[in-house]
Amino acid sequence: MQKRILGNNGLEVSALGLGCMGMSFSYGPPKDKQEMISLLRTAVERGITFFDTAEVYGPFTNEELVGEALSPLRDQVVIATKFGFDTSVDPRAMKGVGPVLNSRPEHIRQVAEASLKRLRTEVIDLFYQHRVDPDVPIEDVAGAVQELIREGKVKHFGLSEAGVQTIRRAHAVQPVTTVQNEYSLWFRRPEEGLLQTLEELGIGLVPYSPLGKGFLTGKMNEKTSFDSTDFRSTLPRFTPEALKANQTLVDLLGRIAAEKNASPAQVALAWLLAQKPWIVPIPGTTKLERLDENIGALAVELSADDLGKIDNAAAQITVEGARYPEKLEQMTGR
């Protein structure tokens, strides 16, 4: 398994991580616990060392799953989790007022203590602010995590979906190891200043939804329907009209995949990996064959000519539909 370094503090992880959210939350009903434990342990056998969870996934059940699965292998893995939501308010009530943020320093500490127990560990390797809380200065957030780092409860500080100025302000207080933002051929906003800022500051990027929440795998079309427990049923980009309009992008990946004897998903991940050596995507899956397919992306070599072709063709495609409902979109880029 290839390794990559995130940030200037030497956090070494496998070149692909594993997003664990969908095992418990957001993409339909929770999956069978024993099957997911087996999948997580198999991922470690395959060389994956970087696992992503959050207290809000479930809430709490995903951290518990990751903790149970990985505690026997703790010395082989890097576990990232997140704080920043008020979990006394059900996060699934997003169709109403939306999730409630809480990054007050005393709450950050409470979350850390609870996450340590659920993850069955003595230290959180990477602790992200899940979304920027406009009611709490980012300097206070960074200071709270800094205290946890000094106490040995956290190793690295991360931010998710933060704006460039917020990243700079946080980094000035406590060095940010990595930023987790959505980034893929389907969503390229990080290229508009974020990548440049991260390179300047020596911060890694962990793209979530690197396969466009499944769309870039080529296994969906306008006839695809989503269960009411599937988060995608609420997303503008997953309406039948948007899926049909965006098929052009998947067709492009399919053509390149055929030339490379690869799958569209593998090309989409290989494209991300080729952007910068400090990018580590975290595709999520609940199936072993998909895990193996994703790992296979590391063997797909895209030349400068291939990357140029992809960029030129992708530039001609306008992606239809917002990625989130308005209330959730407002929580990004602050």
- Compute how many other C-beta atoms are within 10 angstroms of the C-beta atom of residue 92: 14
What token pair was written down for 162? 């933060």
With a CB cutoff of 8 Å and minimum separation 6, the contacts of 171 are 142, 201, 203
Q: Nearest-CA neighbor of 17 among 298, 255, 219?
A: 298
- What is the identity of the amino acid at 143? G
Give the ranges where 162-317 is alpha helix by DSSP (H): 164-173, 194-201, 240-245, 247-260, 264-275, 288-296, 304-315
Q: Choose, from 27, 57, 128, 183, the residue flagged as catalytic.
A: 57
Tell me the β-bridge partners of 159.
129, 179
CB 17 within 8 A of CB 4: no
- How many angstroms separate the CA atoms of 139 and 155, rounded? 18
Q: Nearest-CA neighbor of 203 among 134, 151, 112, 126?
A: 126
Instruction: Determine whether 57 is an active site residue.
Output: yes
Can you tell me whether residue 208 is helix, strand or coil? strand
Residues catalogued as catalytic: 57
